[in-house]
Amino acid sequence: SFSHHLITTLLCLQLFWEKRLKGLRASDITEEVLRTMELPKGLTSLGPDTSDETLLSAISSALHMSSSPITGQTNSAAEKNPAVWLNTSQPLCKAFIVTDQDIRPCDKDLARKTRRERDRERDRERERERDREREGERDRERERERERERDTETETETERQREREREREREREHI
């Protein structure tokens, strides 16, 4: 019947909804596509689409849509037929456990990247400070140059006045 077909179709759509995320890519503000993240070796996809991209999308969605722990499909029968033995609140992947050993390298990597970024920011700030100092020195040099020009103009004007005075003196002597 039509209603049975519709229900079956809707269930399939709900069951494997992550497939709709296939081919979507994250991009930065310049619309450049970001590199796809590498998944740990222990994460293995189940079901009709076993790509890492789909699995990453499914895990990301599960993390955002639920506050429950993400464990994957814990029922071993799900590996044989995921459509039958499916826990719909979990992503379609084999069961996994995240251990401290999994987290430590990530923490170290994050600390290293954070340190490197902090060093870069410190270097950028130092460069900005040097730029400000150089600009300040250029401003001071321009001001000194303007002062020398004013002094030269003043001296020139003073010299002209003296020359005019001497001219007047000579004219008076001739009279």
pLDDT of residue 1: 65
Distance of CA 7 to the CA centre of its chain: 43
Task: Give the amino acid at 19.
Answer: K
Distance of CA 11 to the CA centre of its chain: 38
pLDDT tens track, the chain, 175 positions: 666 666 666 555 555 565 666 667 777 788 888 777 778 777 888 777 677 877 888 888 888 888 889 888 887 766 677 666 677 788 888 888 888 888 898 899 999 999 999 999 999 999 999 999 999 999 999 999 999 999 898 988 899 999 999 999 888 887 6
pLDDT score, position 74? 82
Say which residues have a Cβ less than 8 Å from residue 95's Cβ, sequence separation at least 6: 71, 72, 73, 74
pTM of the model: 0.46
Q: What is the pLDDT of residue 121?
A: 96
pLDDT for 95-112, tens place per residue? 888 888 888 988 999 999
pLDDT given at position 90: 83
Give me the phi and psi of 27, to 5 degrees please: -140, 160
Angle, vertex CA 131, rays to CA 129 and CA 133, nearest 5: 70
pLDDT of residue 79: 65
Burial state string for 43-75 with b = 16 or more CB within 10 A and e = fewer than 16: bebbbebeeebbbbbbbbebeeeeeeebbbbee
Mean pLDDT of the chain: 82
Which of 82, 80, 81, 64 shows the shortest CA–CA distance to 72?
82
H helices of the chain, where?
Answer: 2-15, 52-65, 77-80, 100-174
- pLDDT at residue number 116: 95
92 — phi, psi (to 5°)?
-80, 75
